[in-house]
Amino acid sequence: MVDDEISVLTTLKMALTAFSYVVDTASNAEEALLLFNPAVHDLVITDNSMPGMSGLELAHAIKLRSATTPVVMHTGRLPDERSCLDLVIQKPGNLFAMGEAIGKLVAKRRPDKAARQSEPGV
């Protein structure tokens, strides 16, 4: 998850952890690219408006490294171009709906993880 607003990162990490996801965070796109590993990360959630590289630029870079990794943009400023995005969620958004949408994207990419995701305590 990538956002330059620490409060957003903290809130969403807590919410997604409640859905039993393991969440790595980065405060900018450059840091996210250093952390990103398609063998470890099932999905990328990014803001659009950030200092330096934008979320849209990050999404393009992620897709170049791993075309099958879903990229979700969680933003207050909707992008004009969305070809590299699998889902756009406008801020503020419903966290429950976001968790469900992420679950569906992960299930498409890795059905084995989606099955374990629904088990309590995982």
Q: Per CATH, which fold does 1-75 belong to?
A: Rossmann fold (3.40.50)
pTM of the predicted model as reported, rounded to 2 decimal places: 0.84
> Sheet containing 44-46: which strands, arranged edge to edge?
44-46, 71-75, 87-90
Tell me: the pLDDT tens digits for 39-98?
999 999 999 999 999 999 999 999 999 999 999 998 888 888 888 999 898 887 778 888
Counting every residue written for the chain, the total comes to 122
Name which of 4, 114, 106, 113 is nearest 58 in CA terms: 4
The C-alpha atoms of residue 15 and residue 83 are separated, in whole angstroms, by 27
Where along the chain do its domains lie? 1-75
- Burial level of 120, CB count in 10 A (0-12/13-18/19+)? exposed
